[in-house]
């Protein structure tokens, strides 16, 4: 009681695997996670789910486009994530800042109204990379770093609403 389980089934994008392999492995992983949560009688309405998106491996010669990532990710979630789960806070998992935002935005534009869960972000790298680069450890760059963080946070907040341009 009084605990919010953070459930983070992440299939890494490190490697040369195709989006098909990522989809297959993610679906198996998410299914097993929810099977185990059910066995442990975890209240699904009280968890924070932090899954990966369905993407091509970083070293794959064929990188899936934004629409395919959005469609595959939603299909995988529909096949595995119970409607009791309140939302999915995606990991950026090594995606570029722009791709992580664009993928989330496309999911919310195309599928958001038809899903039982809210789709949002729990990005580390995709929020911090630009501000850290702008700062570069120099105190005189602090305001530039803050502006970069605000820009990334605003972009991802808009993507959660399907309003990122």
pTM of the model: 0.93
State pLDDT tens for residues 70-125.
Answer: 999 999 999 999 999 999 999 998 899 999 999 999 999 999 999 999 999 999 88
DSSP secondary structure string for all residues of the chain: -----EE-------SS--HHHHHHHHHHHHHHHHHHHHHTT--GGG-EE-PPP----TT-SS---HHHHHHHHHHHHHHHS-TTS-EEEE--TT--HHHHHHHHHHHHHHHGGG-SSEEEE--SHHHHHHHHHHHTT-GGGHHHHHHHHHHHHHHHHHHHTT---
User: In this structure, is the dihedral angle defined by the CA atoms of residues 138, 141, 142 and 144, taken in order, positive or negative?
Assistant: negative
Q: Give 88's contacts (C-beta < 8 A, 6+ positions apart).
A: 49, 50, 51, 77, 81, 117, 118, 119, 120
Is 36 in the active site? no
The tokens describing 9, both together, are: 């089934």
Euclidean distance between CA atoms 112 and 161, whole angstroms:
8
- Tell whether the model's pLDDT for residue 161 goes beyond 80: yes
Q: Give 87's contacts (C-beta < 8 A, 6+ positions apart).
A: 48, 49, 117, 118, 119, 120
Is 27 in the active site? no
State the CB neighbour count (10 A cutoff) for residue 122: 18
Catalytic residue among 8, 24, 68, 151: 8
Euclidean distance between CA atoms 79 and 129, whole angstroms:
32
State pLDDT tens for residues 25-58.
Answer: 999 999 999 999 999 999 999 999 999 999 999 9
Catalytic residue among 10, 28, 36, 50: 50
Per-residue pLDDT, 113: 93
Q: Which residues pair with 122 in a beta bridge?
A: none
Percent of the chain with pLDDT over 70: 99
């Amino acid at each position: 009681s009084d605990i919010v389980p953070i459930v983070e089934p992440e299939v890494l994008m490190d490697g040369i695997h195709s989006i098909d392999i990522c989809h297959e492995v993610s679906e198996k992983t998410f299914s097993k996670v929810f099977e185990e949560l059910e066995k442990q009688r975890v209240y699904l309405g009280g968890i924070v789910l932090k899954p990966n998106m369905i993407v091509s491996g970083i070293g794959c010669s064929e990188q899936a486009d934004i629409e395919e990532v959005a469609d595959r990710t939603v299909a995988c979630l529909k096949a595995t994530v119970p409607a009791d789960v309140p939302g999915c806070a995606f990991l950026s998992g090594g995606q570029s800042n722009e791709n992580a935002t664009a993928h989330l935005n496309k999911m919310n534009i195309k599928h958001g109204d038809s899903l039982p869960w809210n789709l949002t972000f729990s990005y580390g790298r995709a929020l911090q990379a630009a501000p850290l680069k702008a700062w570069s450890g120099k105190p005189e760059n602090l305001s530039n770093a803050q502006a970069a963080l605000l820009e990334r946070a605003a972009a991802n907040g808009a993507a959660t609403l399907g309003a990122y341009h």
